Chains A and B, each alone.
Chain A
Amino acid sequence: MQIQLNGETTSLDGNPTIRDLVESLDLTRRRIAVEVNEEIVPRSQHSAKALADGDRVEIVHAIGGG
């Protein structure tokens, strides 16, 4: 299936969860926040939440700013 990941079209195999996606991106040790289709997915639900074709996923973190 295909999702929009941080604005880019991305192909995924199988039926991954948010947790699977975060692991595949090597972001498990990072402090991140995830939004799917403009709704926050709390960290506690990453393992339960399966992605669906066409989902718009945002993964954000903190960077320097004023």
Chain B
Amino acid sequence: MDDYKMMVNAYKEAGGEDVFSDSEVAHVVLERDNVLGSHEVEGLEVNIKKREKGRVQVEIEVAAAAVIKNPVHMCFGVLPEKGLQIIDMEVNIGRGAEIEVLADCIFPNASEVKHIMEAEINLAENSKYTYRENHYHGEEGGVEVQAEAEIMAAPNSYFYSVFSLLQGRAGKISFDYQADLDAHSTLEMLARIRGNNEDEITIREAGVLRGKGARGILDSKIALQDKASGEILNELTACASNAQGHVDCTEVIKDEATARAVPIVNVEHPEAKITHEAAIGSVDDTKLQSLMSRGLNEEEATEVIVQGMLKG
């Protein structure tokens, strides 16, 4: 089987849709620094340049006023047990353009894999960018992920991202996204991760609501068990009138897992407002017993609650 088929199969096994033969769906399939497949649609331009070993530059341009009808699928990964993948990504969404990207990062056989993503995302006025990043790291915990992004959102633009890892091991994840929002732009940044064994998860989501009427939500949820550890450091700053936001850090732990949450809110204008909540603890007993009264044992009930929390 060639690498392309292996990547597509791994992608499907991780829950991805079979879209790679659909001419109306744009896609990119990247294994380490090899482009195994790509397809563009009108209004979207994707340029991929190989740089030094293991490193690629991906440039995504969405033309002004272009509305990309179907979500663009990006499949990144490393197939062997050991490997390195560094992606430098630059995304430019033109004025009034709209795009949704589904990125799947899959490392099904990893015992010693490093995946580094450094992204720069620019949203022009009135544009909309939705980015859903799903990770599957296999069962060994041998993946180290460093994901960093800087987002610049022009007036009236909308940025939504969700980073999720809901199955298998997490390994080591360090996630750091920072957004700067101009007037009346909106930010929604979500992270949903579960860790087990000795996984280590660090999330930092930060936003600066610089423009008047900007809105921001930073919402991170982690479920940890065994000896896994998690840390959420979310920071939201409001600097202009009517800028409003909310920071939510939730961690559910069991066994010997440990968690830390630091929500930071800064308000630098008297007409701005930011709220926050942080919660760390075990699964709520009332919810647990409610499900157990339907016949689920404690483990099954906990799974329903944790999966629900991470999907919610």
Binding partners A and B: no
